[in-house]
Amino acid sequence: MRIGAHLSIAKGLPAAAKMAADIKANTFQFFTRNPRGGKAREIGVEEVAVWEKERADGDIYPIVGHLPYTVNMASPKDEVYDFARQVLKDDLVRCDAFGGEYLVVHPGSHLGEGAQQGLDRIASLLEEILGPWEGKAQLLLETMAGQGTEVGSIQDLAWLGEALGWPAKLGVCLDSCHLFAAGYDLRTQAGLDHLLGELDRAMGLERVRAVHINDSKFPLGSKKDRHAPLGKGHIGEEGLSLLINSPHLRHLPFLLETPTKDYREYADEILFLRGLIS
């Protein structure tokens, strides 16, 4: 199985490959640039060459970029929308340049303008960017908790996919904490089946390409996006076990985004997850 965590590439891609090895991860996610700001680190050809070798040696697959939280494709503010366009365009190219398979983005927040207005803005931006995109990296829309004026329910993502005609370069990334906060009870088999059925009817399970595996600090349906360490939140060990063992999901990369002070702490959580595999 593919299990990994969110790591930093601030010290270079080869350093990130080493970190993945340290925590026994065979996939990882990284921020394409500062999550709260906008500056991107230059990645040179030499770094890419070393990285490609380390990646092959460590059997690391897939690599998932995550766009910064400042990207809001639903924003009614022109400068914010323009920034989203620029970052999306640039980071698809950057991710592709070193063989990154996926780029995850939070759809955005409509900031009071109404969900449909927000979705329309997202669809037109995605159309503009993905239409001419010929690289290999795929863009994944993440399922959100529904905090504030956030869009990103399963229905929202299905609507966006349909508006674009579901191109192969567009997919979906699930987040267990966000889904639980949005009201999907992942603690029981019936709850998980309900989620999978809904995904299948809305978009087809083949659109799902990655899973963020996090526990939730807040209870079911809280609409709060606050990740907890695995087994220490409201989803709990049983729910996480159902998720990772689901025959519909287990072929996907599972990525941890749980709170840690140091990336080495992920080693225990990865071990914990591997221990749940039946």
Three-class DSSP category at 49: helix
Site residues for Zn ion, 54-73, by CB under 5 A, read: none
Please provide the DSSP assignment of 64-126 as one string.
Answer: EEE--TT--TT-SSHHHHHHHHHHHHHHHHHHHHTT--EEEE--EE-TTS-HHHHHHHHHHHH
C-beta of 111: minimal distance to Zn ion in Å? 19
Listed in order, strand segments (DSSP E) in the chain are: 3-6, 28-31, 63-66, 102-105, 108-109, 138-142, 150-151, 170-175, 208-213, 215-216, 227-228, 254-256
CB of 177 to Zn ion, least distance (A): 10
Minimum Å gap between C-beta 257 and Zn ion is 7
Based on CB atoms, which residue is closest to Zn ion, 101 or 142?
A: 142
Measured from the CB atom, the residue of 107 and 231 that comes closer to Zn ion is 107
The token pair at 241 is 């076990």
Residue 180 Cβ, how far from Zn ion at the closest point, in Å? 14
Binding mask 168-207 for Zn ion (x = CB under 5 A): ----------------------------------------
Number of residues that bind Zn ion (CB under 5 A): 1
Among residue numbers 129 through 148, which ones bind Zn ion (CB under 5 A)?
Answer: 142
Coil, strand or helix at 275: helix
Entry field: residues in the chain: 278
Instruction: Give the residue with the Cβ less far from Zn ion, 54 or 157.
Output: 157
Per-residue contact string for residues 85-124; x = within reach of Zn ion by CB under 5 A: ----------------------------------------
Cα–Cα distance, 269 to 66 (Å, whole number) = 21
> Which residue of the chain is nearest Zn ion when measured via CB?
142
Q: Which positions touch Zn ion (CB under 5 A)?
A: 142
